[in-house]
Amino acid sequence: MKNRTIIIGSVVAAIVLGAVAVGIAYVATSHHSTPTSSAAAVPPTAAAGPSSTPTPTVSVNTTDAKSFATSIAGLFCRPNIDQQVWFAALSPYFSADASSQFSTTDPANVPCSRITGPGQAVGDQQTSLQAAYQFSTDDKSVTVSINRNSANEPWQVVYVIVGD
Task: Break the chain into its structural domains and give their ranges.
Answer: 1-31, 65-162
Q: Evaluate if pTM is beyond 0.75.
A: no
Is the separation of the CB atoms in 154 and 63 below 8 Å? Answer: yes
Phi first, then psi, for residue 143 (nearest 5°) are: -115, 125
How far is residue 101 from each of residues 76, 81, 97, measured CA to CA in Å?
A: 13, 19, 6
Mean pLDDT for the stretch of residues 30-40? 30
What pLDDT does residue 52 have? 41
Cα diameter, the chain? 75
Condensed to tens digits (0 to 9), the pLDDT of residues 71-83 reads: 999 999 999 999 9
Condensed to tens digits (0 to 9), the pLDDT of residues 111-142 reads: 999 999 999 999 887 999 999 999 999 999 99
Q: What architecture is the 65-162 domain classified under in CATH?
A: Roll (3.10)
Asked if residue 91 has pLDDT above 90, the reply is: yes
